[in-house]
A = this chain, B = another copy of it.
């Protein structure tokens, strides 16, 4: 069966056809030159610009539907496209064009005493499955990242954004065709039936090499429960800023404010501030947060510093607010801070503000998170800010990829060994 002509009510048959076509496309993409992949990206970016009106029309229908179904304004905003957001998608694809192609890179090479020359060479993973929710731009970002890294991709977006995603997908296909690459390099699951997600997680182990879920807690939990394929996980970001006794007050205040409030809805936003008992200006930091409109939930000491601080409950230490709320606690130095982070954190991103280099080194070494920072905001947790180009998310796993997941993290490697007739004794 061909996925393009498949009966979309026959989910197993449909997903099987999609999987087989993805594997076939992956073997083509693994051998595709950088210039052909880039040509497809440039053409896709151009097609998105040209079809902006069509994409916005499809999006308007999605948005109307979402409003009719009473979805929250936050969800509608995530769904909404305008000319600026469509242009940003095109530019995002052009940024991916500009990235170095990781495929074929020799990561390491050495020669053995018997003359064998060994190279470790970067290769694509194969077929990547992306399961995402309402943001239609993921269709463009994920499609382009997978193409650049030589992987075939199976995209399964949220039902709310299905018309928008299909319209964007049509432009990606136009890009593939103009470069002579198979349509099935970037497939979108043509049904919003949730059974399709189950197939991607557990029924397509022969086809899918890795699944990347992008979404809220219920999706992540479903993935953890059901996945029979490797997953690059994106758990929540319960990020911390620790203000050491040695911190500069102005720097501490600026970093805490930025880490919490620059954007509250991203996974790198700080959710708890830990303040060293020896830091004398805790009141200044708390006041700055409150004055900026942030609710502060603190322990007794912090409540005594400002009447606007409300009591923190045990659950606050593990909550990812994604809002203008912060939990705040006085701790006894760097060791109590790292112990608190180990107990309550999600191993995403944590920062220490300190002038004391030893305290900083101890924090950076002991905190086992994907990203640890000294004297910088947690909001830098971002592939672009790291100089890695676009990303598909921030992995909180330790396995395979940790931190920002960009083109390089979507690859594997193989060993290429060249000899002159060597046999093993």
Contacts and interface: CB of A to CB of B under 8 A. Distances in A.
Nearest to A365: B31
A168 interface: no
A340 to B, nearest CB: 14
A398 B126 contact: yes
Contacts of A123: 368, 398
Nearest to A423: B258
A395 to B, nearest CB: 10
B421 A375 contact: yes
Given A110-B387, A116-B380, A27 B419 contact: no
Contact of A262 (B360, B385, B418, B424): B424
B31 A379 contact: no
Nearest to A120: B403
A177 interface: no
Nearest to A257: B423
Contacts of A369: 414
A399 B400 contact: yes
Nearest to A23: B342
A263 to B, nearest CB: 9
Interface string A395-421: 001111011000000001111111111
A402 B398 contact: no
Contacts of A209: 398-399
B375 A418 contact: yes
A186 interface: no
A398 B262 contact: no
A110 B387 CA distance: 9
Given A30-B368, A31-B365, A112-B387, A419 B248 contact: no
Contacts of A126: 368, 398
A125 interface: yes
B387 A417 contact: no
A110 B31 CA distance: 30
Interface in A358-411: 360, 364-366, 368-377, 379-380, 385-387, 397-400, 402-403
Chain A binding surface SS class:
mixed
B262 A423 contact: yes
B419 A376 contact: yes
A422 interface: yes
Contact of A422 (B125, B375, B419): B375
Contacts of A387: 110, 112, 118
A81 interface: no
A420 B355 CA distance: 9
Highest count of chain B CB atoms <10 Å: which of A224, A251, A417: A417
A99 to B, nearest CB: 14
B399 A125 contact: yes
Highest count of chain B CB atoms <10 Å: which of A116, A374, A399: A399
A327 interface: no
Contacts of A400: 230, 399-400
A397 B414 CA distance: 10
Nearest to A404: B415
A210 interface: yes
Nearest to A398: B412
Contacts of A342: 27
A138 interface: no
A300 interface: no
A423 B116 contact: no
Nearest to A209: B398
A205 B225 CA distance: 11
B370 A414 contact: yes
A366 B424 contact: no
A327 to B, nearest CB: 20
A257 B424 CA distance: 11
Contacts of A417: 371-374, 376, 380
16 contacts: A31-B365, A112-B387, A116-B380, A118-B387, A123-B398, A125-B398, A125-B399, A205-B224, A258-B424, A262-B423, A376-B423, A380-B424, A398-B412, A399-B399, A400-B400, A402-B413
